[in-house]
Structure 1
Amino acid sequence: MNKIISRMNGAQKNIKISEIPPKETTIKKASGRLAGLGLLLAVFLLWETAVYLTGTPVYLVPAPSDILAELAANLPRLLSAGLVTLAEALAGLILGSAIGLGLAVLITFWGRLEQGVMSLAILIKSTPIIAIAPILTIWLGFGHAPKVIITALLTFFPVLINALSGFRSVDTAILDYLHSLNASPQEIFSVARWPSARPYLFAALKVAAPLAMIGAVVAEWMGASSGLGRQMWLAYTNLDMPALFAAVFALTLLSTAVYQSVVLLEKRFLFWQPNS
């Protein structure tokens, strides 16, 4: 293995590496964030004005001020519920990512498995999660297990597809060079395929992370004793629209935080990527 890596490093000295474009300046990034914040505030202002001018009752469409008041009044309860949903989503995301990555590795080493694995994966992906959730809830009860499994079913597919694409994205010239060194499939995987797949994996995680939050909430709607989905269901049954919107806002903030965490991890581990 060390011999192969040293030879590849020696070969790279003769390769002209294109200059990486400079990163955005701090001022440009700050202006972009301020523009996004300004747009968000403008939407909330228009929303507040429209509700006030039309006299829309709060049980139909609450104003942003009503939602913020509900958030402030029930912040501890929403935080507690959000932590439950977050734990279920992260557990499902880890499980689904491990399954997707594991299947992609198996297909990479044993190509004959691809047709069977992909057929099953597409079948699971094509089945509406809203149809699977009540079945798993009946089988496994109202605990955390069905939420984690449902979340894993939602998240494994993008990881599987992107990981497989990443493993196959290695330049043929690199593969030919490694074959000329009599590298084993395991050595080719660790030296070439795995490094090539890492950007694809982070792209998959940025898709799967918000899906994990959605999956956990959908599962909680089917039956749960806690979580944001439970809070939404209670607000819905009581026609408490401010509480329902407050739970939705809390879910949005949590999903954004999870997504940004993946982005930060990508910048940490793929710091050489121009877009990281």
Structure 2
Amino acid sequence: MNPSIPKSGSVQASQAKQPAATRIKLPEDRFDSRLKRTGFNLLPPLLTFVLIFVLWEALIWLLDIKLVILPAPSGIFGELFGEFSFYLPHIWLTFYEAVLGFMLGMAAALLLGVLMSQSRLLERALLPVAVMANVTPIVAIAPLFIIWFGFGALPKVLISAICAFFPMLINSITGFRAIDDNNHEYLKSLHASRFEIFLKLRLPNSLPFILSAARTCMSMSVIGAVVGEMSGASKGLGNVIMVSSNYMQMERTFAAIFLLAIMGIGLTSLVRLAERKLLHWHSAE
């Protein structure tokens, strides 16, 4: 006797009776959940900033603090939105110097990290030089770079790259070496070459270390670009801060500082987003 074929209505009814955890999520459901998650992540810091600005404004009004000492948030935002066209070329230049310096410093650190992770002798020879460059105050190096490379973007990019270099170097060496010995021995038993071991084992294992360092390096690259602009430049947010503070234009000074903070948060958030996409397999994500 042939088994009876269930009608379409009974199939729909059986699907409706399935637990919610086993149902297939529609694109609309995924979008709603992603939107809720984004709102949940953004709401606390936004409320915190609003509270800080409200208390700041109230403190200025209650204590009658002079503008040359501390401007009110209302004056800062009025300056920022009223003269935003003035800030645009400075924002772009600082952004360009920071991002290019970050990429240059990251590339140099990864290249050197690969070589030093494969050779203890090379690490012992070069790591003290890297440490010396890292502990030397960047404000002492920046004027020399201005003298050597001029007042253009090049010295700022190089200073930014130096700031991003050392954290990436240390994390890359650690990541390339922090591998599972059993996996390493297994690949060696298959007669895998050093390049194949690096590609299949060391590189994937190092990604959490590298991307975690990238967040720190991105913020450091912004700091490096600003230090370079303060040492000698005609444009850039660092130059705006230096010139406006010399002329006691405190609202403009704080507006430029606020833009730098937004730039740093935005760039770091982009790195964090890339980390989430690339490390979806990692247990910490």
Q: Residues of 1 paired with 2:133 and 2:67: CA distance?
A: 40
Q: Alignment partner for residue 98 of structure 2, among 70, 82, 89?
A: 89
Matched, 1:150 2:159: yes
Aligned-pair CA distance for 1:207: 0.5
Map 1:151-166; keep pairs closer than 5 Å.
151-166=160-175
Find the counterpart in structure 1 of residue 202 from structure 2: 193
Listed one character per residue, the Cα deviations across residues 27-69 of structure 1 (whole Å, up to 9, x for unaligned) are 4653342122111111110000000011111111000000000
Q: Residues of 1 paired with 2:218 and 2:132: CA distance?
A: 21
Give the aligned residue type for 2:234. S
Q: Which stretch of structure 1 is more off in the superposition, 261-270 or 191-200?
A: 261-270
Q: Secondary structure at the match of 1:34?
A: helix
Matched, 1:268 2:277: yes
Q: Alignment partner for residue 59 of structure 2, among 33, 39, 50?
A: 50
Q: Secondary structure at the match of 1:124?
A: helix
Q: Alignment partner for residue 81 of structure 2, among 72, 87, 100?
A: 72
When Rg is computed on C-alpha atoms for both structures, the one with the higher figure is 2
Q: Residues of 1 paired with 2:258 and 2:147: CA distance?
A: 29
- Verify the 8 A CA contact 1:103 1:117 in the aligned structure 2: no
Q: Secondary structure at the match of 2:74?
A: helix
- Verify the 8 A CA contact 1:109 1:185 in the aligned structure 2: no
Matched, 1:108 2:113: no
Q: Residues of 2 paired with 1:142 and 1:73: CA distance?
A: 29
Q: Residues of 1 paired with 2:119 and 2:283: CA distance?
A: 33
Give the aligned residue type for 2:119. W
- Verify the 8 A CA contact 1:121 1:157 in the aligned structure 2: yes
Runs of 5+ in structure 2 lacking a partner? 1-32
Aligned-pair CA distance for 1:247: 0.2
Cα RMSD after superposing both structures = 1.5
Q: Alignment partner for residue 245 of structure 1, among 231, 234, 254?
A: 254
Q: Secondary structure at the match of 1:56?
A: coil
Find the counterpart in structure 1 of residue 219 from structure 2: 210
Q: Alignment partner for residue 129 of structure 2, among 120, 134, 151?
A: 120
Give the aligned residue type for 1:186. F
TM-score by length of 2: 0.85
Q: Residues of 2 paired with 1:34 and 1:105: CA distance?
A: 41
Q: Secondary structure at the match of 1:35?
A: helix
Give the aligned residue type for 1:80. P
Q: Secondary structure at the match of 1:226?
A: coil
Give the aligned residue type for 1:77. F
Find the counterpart in structure 2 of residue 174 from structure 1: 183
Q: Structure 1 residues 149 and 28 mapped into 2: Cα distance closer, same or farther (>3 Å)?
A: closer
Q: Residues of 1 paired with 2:38 and 2:225: CA distance?
A: 33
Q: Secondary structure at the match of 1:61?
A: coil
TM-score by length of 1: 0.88
Give the aligned residue type for 1:48. E
Give the aligned residue type for 1:68. F
Aligned-pair CA distance for 1:110: 2.4
Q: Residues of 1 paired with 2:170 and 2:132: CA distance?
A: 14
Aligned-pair CA distance for 1:187: 1.1
Listed one character per residue, the Cα deviations across residues 224-267 of structure 1 (whole Å, up to 9, x for unaligned) are 11110111111011010000000000100111111011112112
Listed one character per residue, the Cα deviations across residues 71-94 of structure 1 (whole Å, up to 9, x for unaligned) are 012211212101100100111111
Give the aligned residue type for 2:206. A
Identity among equivalent positions (%) equals 36
Matched, 1:235 2:241: no
After TM superposition, what 4+ stretches of structure 1 lie above 4 angstroms from structure 2? 24-29
Q: Residues of 1 paired with 2:40 and 2:111: CA distance?
A: 41
Q: Residues of 1 paired with 2:46 and 2:98: CA distance?
A: 27
